[in-house]
Structure 1
Amino acid sequence: MRTGIRAVIAVAAAALVLPVAPAHAGERPADGDFTIADPRITESSGLAASAAHPGVYWTHNDQDKPLIYGVDSRTGETVATLTMEGVGTPRDMEAIAVGPDGDIYVGDIGDNLDGSWDHVWIYRFPEPKALKDQTVRAKQYVVKYADGPRNAEALMVHPKTGRVYIASKREGGGSLYAGPEKLSSSGTNTFRPIGEVPWVTDGAFSPDGERLVLRSYFSAREYVWKDGRIDGDGVSAGAPLQGQAESVTYTRDGSAFMFGSEGANSGVVRVDRPDAPAASGDTPGAPRPSGAGESPAATGPQGGSATTGFLVLAGGIVLVLGIKRLLRRGD
């Protein structure tokens, strides 16, 4: 009798760790939660919404290969692989952004030894008009910091001025650096500190240029951007709990944040901005992107319901505790 009950407990405990099936399958609305399906993308370290292709997000591995991937948020599938030429071998690509000129900027700015490189690089190339595997000719910019070498993982391009900013990464807080008004491909581009920031793993400007979101492994804050600087202490951006939380960007219309993480089959989670209007194209009764209008805990990274998963987990715990009580009575 007791052996049989213990077997039931084992089965119930195993059920607690079974994944909840996704609530949606196949193609979904653009700009909702999605899972990066490409097995080559195991360390997605930056994320940027395409300016030319709605619903597509550019990302890259934290690696030494000059590869950029375009991922369709409707399916999670890679729809373009870009190979940069005209640049050296990347060392530690950490960030990506799209500028007002339609160019893609890639930040090869990582330095895990926090000062081992006396310079880092930014790569820049026009966003392709066609989504297909192709080679793109990129410019390479040498970057130094006015106050010496440091580690960084966040590169942001202002959508109105085109100025490039970098946030350094330090546990106790780093600095926000502004680049020159125009980057030079023939000389050194000196980035100068303009303010203090918390521990940052990525950041992005809103499409209207009036806000800046910065994230860390455990949280994210959105700041007002005024006169070329952060204004105020910001507000929570509602970052979801993720494995290695590495990336953030805005949706193309600025109505939501998209939070990404590293790892194979990593999830990208949409979190609506608190004061955001209804998603573009919404009509009464029309489907919204998964996660739209919900709290970050309401939808899992693959479109499954985390609420359902919680109920399953709670039910399993109740089942196990009940069986244990029966065991104690039988002793």
Structure 2
Amino acid sequence: MLDRVLGLVSLVPFAIGSMAAPAAAPSSVDFEFQDPAIVESSGLVVQGGLFLTTNDSGDGGRVFVVDGTGRTVGTTSWEPEPEDVEALAPAEPGFVWVGDIGDNSAARESVTVLRVPYGRTAQEVEPASYTLVYPDHAHDAETLLAHPRTGQLFVVSKNVFGGTVYAAPRTLSESEPNRLREVADQVKGVATDGSFFPDGRHYVLRDYVDATVYTFPGHEPIDSFRLPAQRQGEGIAVDERDAVHVSTEGQFTQVRSVQLPPKLQAAMQPERPEQPATTPPSEVEGAQADEPVWPWLLLGAVGAGFVLLILRKLTRHGAAS
């Protein structure tokens, strides 16, 4: 109940702001979830053409594997039951990170991430579990990021006045708590999910209304774009082809592909080094402009004629003597 109340309260400023907000970015329907057990899709990952999601708090430990038609083709479940699963992040092929990081009352001494296998099958597993501890105090969070090249995990806190990005150690310990480190603050406040782009130089955070793209590792906002209207949007994922997908809570809800604004796409392109300008020889300092060739040809012809004339006279004088 507290989760619902806080969710509704946090929606108030977005509802007011949306009255004057620009139109949503163009989007199209990927599919609708067909599984009646998917009732509160709270995280989203897209890998190898498969869509992975998990229910919000209240469900057991479970990941759904969904194909491009919306049909559930596999599930992975585990014990013990998590406290508040809120997010997913991609791991290596065949695995996904599950973020048991929700904490509406900001009272948990630690949170947990699990490395869960998945596939086109129903399976029960004992996933590797890692304890994370914040450097200051407890935070509510619904966003787990995994860098596509290093695999490092990041947790983004959920706060109306601005979120904070916390980095986990690059190598996690199963036996000891892993202390998080603050690396950026004042990112999107009520962040409900996020995802890195494949280039590893950008990531996106969403709330219930729009999404913002940030640089990495600078964590500077580039631009925001409006998301399609959803019941309670809590999922966003970027696939291997840079396509952005969003999901929402509710039974039989849609997963949609969202087109980034062209201006934002252009801003995300890598900067190309400027090519040095080539200067014409006539403009190089100390160089002389090209001179016409015909005077030299004329002078050569006159000289050759003079030499022939001298030789002819010498030849005649020799013959006379």
TM-score, normalised relative to structure 1: 0.67
Q: 2:173 aligns with which of 172, 184, 205?
A: 184
Q: Which residue of 1 aligns with 2:75?
A: 81
Q: Map 1:228-239; keep pairs closer than 5 Å.
A: 228-230=217-219, 232-239=220-227
CA distance in 1, matches of 2:192, 2:96: 19
Deviations 1:117-140 (A, max 9, x none): 111110103444xx1111233111
Gaps in structure 2 of 5+ consecutive residues: 1-27, 267-321
Q: 2:258 aligns with which of 271, 276, 293?
A: 271
Q: Map 1:164-203; keep pairs closer than 5 Å.
A: 164-196=153-185, 197-199=187-189, 200-203=191-194
Q: Does 1:44 align with 2:41?
A: yes
Q: 2:211 aligns with which of 203, 220, 229?
A: 220
Q: Which residue of 2 aligns with 1:159?
A: 148
Deviations 1:146-182 (A, max 9, x none): 0110100000110101100000001111201100111
Determine if contact 2:87/2:143 at 8 Å carries over to the other structure: yes
- Structure 1 residues 159, 102: closer, same or farther in 2, change over 3 A? farther
Gaps in structure 1 of 5+ consecutive residues: 1-30, 278-331
Q: What RMSD over aligned residues (CA atoms) do the two structures have, in Å? A: 1.9
CA distance in 2, matches of 1:45, 1:158: 20
CA distance in 2, matches of 1:65, 1:229: 37
Shift of 1:112: 1.1
Q: Which residue of 2 aligns with 1:242?
A: 230
Determine if contact 1:101/1:162 at 8 Å carries over to the other structure: no
- Structure 1 residues 229, 188: closer, same or farther in 2, change over 3 A? farther
Determine if contact 1:100/1:160 at 8 Å carries over to the other structure: no
Q: Which residue of 1 aligns with 2:60?
A: 65
CA distance in 2, matches of 1:253, 1:136: 30
Asked which structure has the greater RCO (Cα within 8 Å, sep 6+), the reply is 1
CA distance in 2, matches of 1:216, 1:94: 13
Give the helix-richer structure, 1 or 2: 2
Determine if contact 2:91/2:151 at 8 Å carries over to the other structure: yes
Determine if contact 1:238/1:271 at 8 Å carries over to the other structure: no
CA distance in 2, matches of 1:213, 1:102: 23
Deviations 1:284-323 (A, max 9, x none): xxxxxxxxxxxxxxxxxxxxxxxxxxxxxxxxxxxxxxxx
- Structure 1 residues 102, 71: closer, same or farther in 2, change over 3 A? closer
Match of 1:110, as an amino acid? G
| Larger of the two Rg values belongs to structure | 2
Q: Does 1:106 align with 2:94?
A: no
Shift of 1:103: 2.8
